[in-house]
Amino acid sequence: MKPERKGELFIFSALFLWGFFPIITVLTYGTLPSLISLGYSTLISAVFFAIVMSVRKRWRELADPLLWKYCLGIALFIGVLYYGFFFFGLSKTTSGNASIISSAELLTSFIFFNIWKKEFFSTDHIIGALCMIAGTVIILVPNYSGVHAGDFLVLLSVCFPPIGNYFQQKARNIASSESIMFLRSLFSMPVIFLFAYLFGMHASSAAVYKSLGYLLASGIVLFGFSKILWIEAIHRISVTKANALSALGLLLTLVLAWIILHQAPTVWQISALVPLFIGTLFLTNNLSFKKKS
């Protein structure tokens, strides 16, 4: 299998796992503040990656100081700046607005990787990315509720993941995904708990125990396996393409909500299938304006 196809497969697998995240949240989560949940999920993921590293004998990779440098950058730009501004902005705006604005990460990734870093992105892929943006907007716009102060903080937050993903690509060239995620989790966890403290978020041990099943699923599956899949994906395909394909996660969540929670999709959401499907075909090279010889 070609590396690009492997990258696409990794992205689709990661999307499948993340598609369950809102569903798990609705079904089992409600006793912990968001940052507390994120902190414990990150702690569990750090333990998970430590176990994986022990089984696969990866600890020697941590001897490379360049890996620590890259992982500090990953933790800073994704674990601290992105999550910090996003969650602080979310406290001052609606979740619908935050979802719409956070889709601008595709634009910031395109500017960083394809304009500044001069990475090649074909015309077909640009068209595919635009279709994915259109599908995302169609799904989310009905939830838009006007401009809020937090909207600008959420918009600021999406400026940081491209830099973090750049460091993840660099780190993956010298170490395994589990080593990268172990250090990222280790560096991010105390800062997340610090943010939770500064925002006045607290939780009792009883509340943590009550949500333990959710936290284990989140830490091991969502912040564990899915993050490995993401790193392996952007090791083989561009971050811009990976972000564009990630728009399918919204569609998967809608389908799962329909099946599990019996929340039927709206006409707007169903109509988004067209641009999302077309965009996926362009991004996976199954549809092209170029004439085949």
pLDDT in tens, 115-131: 888 888 888 888 888 88
Most confident of 8-12, 18-22, 127-131, 273-277: 8-12
| CA gap 252, 247 in Å, rounded | 9
Look at residue 100 in the predicted model and tell me its pLDDT: 67
State the pLDDT confidence band at 180, using cuts at 50, 70 and 90.
Answer: very high
- Say if residue 25's pLDDT is above 70: no
Is there a domain that residue 35 lies in?
yes
Structure confidence at residue 67 (pLDDT): 97
Decide if 81 is inside a domain: yes
Structural domains counted in the chain: 1
Residue 291: what pLDDT?
A: 57
pLDDT of residue 79: 82
Higher pLDDT, 272 or 212: 212
pLDDT band at residue 30 using 50, 70 and 90 as cut-offs? low
Grade residue 94 by pLDDT with cuts at 50, 70 and 90. Answer: low
Helix (H) / strand (E) containing 220: none
Predicted TM-score (pTM) of this structure? 0.81
Domain that holds residue 96: 3-283
pLDDT above 60: residue 154: yes
Determine which of 57-61, 163-167, 208-212 has the lowest per-residue pLDDT on average: 208-212
How high is the pLDDT of residue 293? 46
Give the least confident one: 56-60, 253-257, 267-271: 253-257
Pairwise CA distance, residues 231 & 136, whole Å:
23
**Mean pLDDT, the chain, integer:** 83
Q: Identify whether 291 is part of a domain.
A: no
Q: How many CA atoms lie within 13 A of 149 on its CB side?
A: 3
DSSP secondary structure string for all residues of 171-205: HHTTS-HHHHHHHHHHHHHHHHHHHHHHTT----H
Q: Is residue 249 included in any domain, yes or no?
A: yes
User: Which of the pair, 265 or 108, is modelled with greater confidence?
Assistant: 108
In a domain, 288, yes or no: no
Structure-token match 């949240």, residue found: 25
| Residue 123 counted as domain residue | yes
For residue 68, pLDDT over 50 is answered with yes
Over residues 190-238, the pLDDT tens digits come to 988 988 888 888 889 998 888 888 889 888 988 889 999 999 999 999 9
| Residue 51, token pair as written in the block | 């176990």
Q: Is there a domain that residue 197 lies in?
A: yes
Q: Report if residue 205 sits inside a domain.
A: yes
83, 31 in Cβ contact below 8 A?
Answer: no
Q: What is the pLDDT of residue 23?
A: 60
- CB neighbours (10 Å) of residue 263? 13
- Ranges 4-13, 103-112, 172-181: which has the least confidence: 103-112
